[in-house]
Structure 1
Amino acid sequence: MNTGSTERQGAETLIESFYRWEQQQPGKVYLRQPVGDAYIDFTWAEVGQQARRLVTYIHSLGLPPRSNIGLISKNCAHWLIADIAILLSGHVSVPFYPTLTAEQLKQVLEHSGCRVLFVGKIDNWEAIKPGVPPTVHGIAFPDYRPNSSAPDPDYAQWNQILATNQPYPGHPVPADSDLFTIIYTSGTTGNPKGVMVDYGAVRQAIGHTRYRMGHDLPETRFFSYLPLCHVAERNIVEATSLATGGTVYFTESLDSFARNLAAARPTHFLAVPRIWTKLQQGVLAKLPQHKLDTLLKIPFLSGIVKRKIRQGLGLNEAKLIITGAAPMPISLIRWFRKLDIHIQEAYGMTENLGAVSIMPVSRVKDGTVGQLYEGVDVRIDSRTGEVLTRCGWLMRGYYREPALTEAVLKNGWLATGDVGEVDDDGYLRITGRVKEMYKSPKGEYIAPAQIEFGFADNTYIEQICVGGQHLPQPIALVVLSETGRQAGRQVVEPSLQQTLSQLNPRLHAYEHVRKVVVVKDPWTIENNRMTPTMKIKRNVIESYYEPHMEPWFSRTETVIWED
């Protein structure tokens, strides 16, 4: 890797970027927080003032140098202000998912050793609060919604801190070796692991990806709604907005999502596959597929229809449209492409800052996750087919977990857990997960994710999990979409049978799906069958339905409806 490349030169740490915009464009709006039909705006100067007063308060707590400070909240303006304050104070930012239970929060707080915790927008804080050890000092965000109080009146109050502390005047610049953050994984299996990321890693990642991330746009706007504690949102929203001096819009609630997105008109937009499926279903609910296909064939109307759909979604000015965090069906990418919404699939994981590859706009290779970034090397394990990555922005290791670190980091190479291949043009194809693949009773390896892609064209399906490692053939568990629920059994069942008849001939005989089971309950974050980043928890789902698998498999019908 050539660290003296053009992409690397001039890269700043995030704190240095913040200083630059605080000084060069103090009056420009950085953060826009929706409250009903209005917005509360925070300029770069205002963000600096609030963050610097928080820094003075944090210094007054007498924490040891480089202490870990926690942050738990839904996305909002104060999340970014608090994160900037933690970094300015010389401490380490440790954000947590706002969907954690009390027990889960207790586990990560104790594991990380956080001495201070910022608490913001949480739906059921009273149920989660018992997970906070009494030794942790709490700081509560303000709440600007009418007739609402601060998240926790027992904690130090944000506005009171601002009123009683002077702004910290310093401009410290961290060393590359200083720890920037600990990012806890979403925990698809086992306890979350704390990924340690230093300032140098972030600086190098920004330097090598800036030309792919639209840093040259004259004006950048971001829409923040996926968990900011996840590496993807932290990269696309926080890091890129700081690097470009752009404006970040937030969403107030699920009900206001569409309105807030349309108002933001983001230049950069990130959505996980489940969100793209939801957006597709929203379009089809207003304009059924057969009617859409007809309109797109009429030259005069085609452009108008595409533009209205993009405007309706709030994506008419988007320049960088990304999907990541989970595999994206090719058919879904192509469906949006027909509307001139060009989704670029990106690949990476927390351990390499989510920056391994991205699909170029002009040289698309469907079925891959794009080309490797400059500075990334990939090799494939000859025995297992596992993808190994090497770059200048790998994690330092897992916090307080040397054995787990040693298991995945060896001689500068990170074992990703994904199975894949790289072609001669540097495009990476992911074919499965090492831990998700299983041996059939006949001894052949089965990759569930690849089979699940075969169901992507059926809009009656919203979620799917292929499994059954103890069965003679795979079985597909599906959750119906809203369209599927409204259509009813007499329509959905023949559609599922047709999907199977088209899919199975394209698979190896041992991969043929024998049964499709329509389950009653959706898989959600709340029932612990999805991660906060909307990936299914395969092991949890399979364990839950395991007692029913063999009885379902032995039934005569192909499509089975859970009682």
Structure 2
Amino acid sequence: MVVFNEFSTVPSLLRNVVENIHKPDETFLIDKKKSDWEEISFKQTLENADAVSAFFLERGIAKGDRMGLMIENSPEYVYYDQGIQQIGAINVSIYPTLSEHEVEYIINDSGIKAILIGNTFLLKKVLKIADNCRQLRYIIPAFEEYTKVAIPAGLDTEIISFDEVLGTKNRISKAQLDEINLRRGALRPSDLSSLIYTSGTTGTPKGAMLSHGNFVENVKVCLQQIPVIDETETFLSFLPLSHVFERTATYHVCCAQGCKIAFAQSLELLAKNMGEVRPTVMNCVPRLLEKIHDKAIKSGTAGGGLKAKIFLWALETGKEYRKEKEAGKNPGMIM
């Protein structure tokens, strides 16, 4: 069962799952590698998070330090986020489509010390501005091809692969685990969890300060408003985790309730991924639903003639059926 109390924080949610809801070896994350969907357990997730924590503690990262993420939705996002959050560091997720100038501004304004990078394009973007980022110490590519990217001469920022970061789990000591547990237990709901920057369309972007308590309270309300969500659900995540909606309504809800999270490969492959994963829950935005609706209408009426008439009749019948159900009636086969 979900356990919330006055000390609940973002990293405590997932620990509660393995203590009270699921066995550690049960599946938490689902990600497609090449042609196969890979299942990742709660235990693997937490071990990787501990590796991230130990790596940064060895390098002097402390509570309150800002840590960047510019990466697609993925297990790597979860490992990094859980790892930094449980030692009191702060998640600063940067939307991947921002310009070099905007990325540079956010890195400097927030004081990011390390940034996780998701692909070659984003790495090149960060390398161009790295020397202008005063506090940036580590660039961490989470993809194999990073070695093919040309590194600017005289770069002061250290480049370390995320595989190396995760490799820390092979040598993590009991003393390090004790220190991680101590820091996680010392977190309070009032502590800052994340900075989420505004779009900047009406002025300079501002970093909205969100505490652990803000996120946990939002999760509590989500589960109260949609009580049918339980630990058996599978979510398909495709909206960006750099925005608060997907991070709360998918990622944090799943951390609290013990639901599975599958990561869509892209918006273009979303329909294909839906058929492969068969999710029970997807968080969505109106514009995407409009696109799906418009595509269905176009496809259903493209042939014209009788086929189009049958399609439109079925659509209207469905609308009438929904209205009857919403009115508390029991529509028959012929309404």
Q: What interval of TM-score do these two structures reach, taking the shorter chain for normalisation?
A: 0.7 to 0.9
Letter in structure 1 aligned against 2:319: K
Q: Confirm or deny that 1:18 pairs with 2:36.
A: no
Q: Distance in 1 between matches of 2:166 and 2:3?
A: 37
Aligned with 1:34: secondary structure?
A: strand
- Aligned residue for 2:295, secondary structure, equals helix
Ranges in structure 1 where 5+ consecutive residues have no aligned partner: 1-6, 307-334, 343-360, 365-563
Amino acid at match of 2:310: T
Q: What residue number does 1:156 align with?
A: 160
The 8 Å contact of residues 238 and 267 in structure 2, kept in 1 or not, is answered as no
CA contact under 8 A between 2:300 and 2:311: conserved in structure 1? Answer: no
2:137 alignment partner in structure 1: 137
Provide, for residues 329-354 of structure 1, a one-character-per-residue CA deviation record: whole Å limited to 9, x for no partner. xxxxxx9x739999xxxxxxxxxxxx
- Structure 2 letter corresponding to 1:248: I
Tell me: higher relative CO, structure 1 or 2? Use CA pairs within 8 A at least 6 residues apart. Answer: 2
Residue in 2 that maps onto 1:418: none
- Displacement of 1:45 in angstroms is 0.6
- Retained in 1: the 8 A contact 2:236–2:262? yes
SS of the counterpart of 2:201?
coil
| Paired AA for residue 15 in structure 1 | P
Deviation at 1:246, TM superposition (A): 0.9
Output aligned runs, 1:228-267, within 5 Å: 228-267=241-280
Amino acid at match of 1:160: E
Equivalent residue for 1:338?
319
Q: Distance in 2 between matches of 1:149 and 1:363?
A: 57
Q: Distance in 2 between matches of 1:164 and 1:8?
A: 31
Indicate the larger mover: 105-114 or 285-294.
285-294
Q: Which has the greater radius of gyration?
A: 1
Amino acid at match of 1:237: T
> After superposition, what is the alpha-carbon deviation per residue over 1:427-450, rounded to whole angstroms, capped at 9, x for unaligned?
xxxxxxxxxxxxxxxxxxxxxxxx
Distance 1:288 1:244 in 2: 42
Identity of aligned residues (%): 21
Structure 2: distance between partners of 1:86 and 1:211: 28
Distance 1:227 1:267, change over 3 A: same
CA change 1:252–1:122 in 2 (3 A) is: farther
The answer to whether the Cα contact below 8 Å between 1:22 and 1:48 also exists between their aligned partners in 2 is no
Q: d(CA) in 2 for partners of 1:156 and 1:35?
A: 22
Corresponding position: 1:212 with 2:225: yes
Q: Is 1:276 aligned to 2:266, yes or no?
A: no
Alpha-carbon displacement from aligned partner over 1:235-271 (angstroms, at most 9, x marks no partner): 1111111111111111223442221122232222122
State the shift of 1:218 in Å: 4.6
Give yes or no for the alignment of 1:75 onto 2:73: yes
Which residue of the partner structure matches residue 413 of structure 1?
Answer: none
CA distance in 2, matches of 1:139, 1:229: 18
The residue aligned with 1:294 is 310
SS in structure 2 at match of 1:234: helix
Give the drift of 1:21.
2.4
User: For the structure 1 residues 150 and 187, does the alpha-carbon distance in structure 2 shift closer, same or farther, using more than 3 Å as the test?
Assistant: farther
Q: Is the 8 A contact 2:114 2:140 kept in 1?
A: no
* Cα separation, partners in 2 of 1:53 and 1:277, compared to 1, 3 Å: same
CA 1:151 to 1:259, structure 2 compared with 1: closer, same or farther past 3 Å?
farther
Asked if the contact 1:52/1:85 (under 8 Å) is kept, the reply is yes
Is the partner of 2:194 in helix, strand or coil?
strand
Name the CA distance, whole Å, in 1 between partners of 2:278 and 2:69. Answer: 28
Q: Which residue of 1 aligns with 2:333?
A: none
Q: How far apart in 2 are the matches of 1:104 and 1:236?
A: 26
Of Structure 1 and Structure 2, the greater helix share is in 2
Q: What letter corresponds to residue 162 of structure 2 in structure 1?
A: W
Structure 1 pair 271–18 and aligned structure 2 pair: CA distance change class (3 A): same
Q: Which runs of 5+ in 2 are unaligned?
A: 152-157, 329-335
Report the secondary structure of 1:78's partner residue.
helix
> Residues of 2 paired with 1:78 and 1:363: CA distance?
46
Distance 1:161 1:127, change over 3 A: closer
Q: Which residue of 1 aligns with 2:114?
A: 116
- Residue 107 of structure 1: how far off its partner (Å): 0.3
Does structure 1 residue 196 correspond to structure 2 residue 209?
yes
Distance verdict in 2 for CA 1:197–1:93, change over 3 Å: same
Contact 2:192 2:212 in 1 (8 A): yes
CA contact (8 A) 1:75 1:225 kept: yes
- Aligned partner of 1:28 in structure 2 is 26
Q: Distance in 2 between matches of 1:122 and 1:192?
A: 25
Could you tell me whether the CA contact under 8 Å between 1:116 and 1:136 is conserved in 2? yes
Q: Post-superposition shift, 1:16?
A: 1.5
More strand by share: 1
Amino acid of the residue matched to residue 270 of structure 1?
N
**1:224 aligned onto 2:222:** no
Residues 121/114 of structure 1: CA separation in 2 closer, same or farther (3 Å cut): same
Letter of the aligned partner of 2:199 in structure 1? S
Q: What amino acid does structure 1 have at the position aligned with 2:257?
A: T
| Amino acid in the other structure paired with 2:165 | I
For the residue of structure 1 that corresponds to 2:256, the secondary structure is: helix
Give the whole-Å Cα distance in 2 for the aligned partners of 1:341 and 1:18: 38
CA deviations on 1:42-84 (whole Å, 9 max, x unpaired) are: 2111111111011100101113431111111121111111111
Count of aligned pairs between the two proteins: 302
For residues 40-59 of structure 1, the aligned pairs below 5 Å read 40-59=38-57
Matched, 1:127 2:145: no
How high is the TM-score relative to the length of structure 2? 0.79
- How far apart, CA to CA, are the structure 1 residues paired with 2:66 and 2:322? 41
Letter paired with 2:35 = D
Deviation at 1:283, TM superposition (A): 1.6
